[in-house]
A and B are shown apart, each in its own frame.
Chain A
Amino acid sequence: GAVVSQHPSWVICKSGTSVKIECRSLDFQATTMFWYRQFPKQSLMLMATSNEGSKATYEQGVEKDKFLINHASLTLSTLTVTSAHPEDSSFYICSARGTGGRLRYTFGSGTRLTVV
């Protein structure tokens, strides 16, 4: 149980275009989802926290207009990288926290974004 599906696993896009990454909780309802970014050989850095039906909370230094997060249902959150640039190339991972007081967080398999 507790599976989080993240799609796509990798994407290459041209500079200036937008890319959408999906994060789905397959067998549980996720009231809260988290989006992380990971640069090569570095740890995960939290970008934003999204709660179903409300606006995402962004960490300091993360541009909310560039990284649009939507959490429209209890099983789906999306991260859209708008007007992507090469410096946005990174590994993006989502995490979901279930309802009912679950303390264990389930992570998606990640998305490798390369902007050329």
Chain B
Amino acid sequence: KQEVTQIPAALSVPEGENLVLNCSFTDSAIYNLQWFRQDPGKGLTSLLLIQSSQREQTSGRLNASLDKSSGRSTLYIAASQPGDSATYLCAVPSGTYKYIFGTGTRLKVLA
């Protein structure tokens, strides 16, 4: 049974810091991994999708890496801003269509 864990559960940092959010999964037989952002009381926004054949994906200040063999992915946020404050979720496929979500990291960037 696939289990997805995210560390840390919560993070509070001053503006401008570079951050690393971690995601680990127990079953490495995945074909992709996604990182999402969720603002309070809102739905999810897909940030990055990494295919199993890729090692990383970049979008602006965000960089996500994937190491299937070790069951880990990291989301790197460069030069954090208050607008980055949100909950970040990673998710991996389970079976054909289902996604299993991690427990999330609640990020607060202080101005």
Contacts and interface: CB of A to CB of B under 8 A. Distances in A.
Interface of A: 6, 32, 34, 41-46, 49, 91, 93, 95, 97, 103-110, 112
Contacts of A110: 41-43
Given A43-B101, A46-B99, A49-B97, 18 more contacts: A32-B97, A41-B106, A42-B103, A43-B89, A44-B89, A44-B101, A45-B101, A93-B43, A93-B44, A95-B44, A104-B34, A104-B46, A104-B49, A105-B34, A105-B46, A105-B99, A107-B36, A107-B44
Contacts of A6: 43
Contacts of B101: 43-45
Contacts of B42: 109-110
Q: Which are the 6 A-B pairs with shortest beta-carbon distances?
A: A109-B43, A107-B44, A110-B43, A43-B101, A44-B101, A107-B43
Most chain B CB atoms below 10 A, which of A32, A43, A108, A109: A43
Instruction: Label chain B's interface by main secondary structure.
Output: strand
Nearest to A94: B43
B44 A103 contact: no
A95 B100 CA distance: 13
Contacts of A95: 44, 99
B98 interface: yes
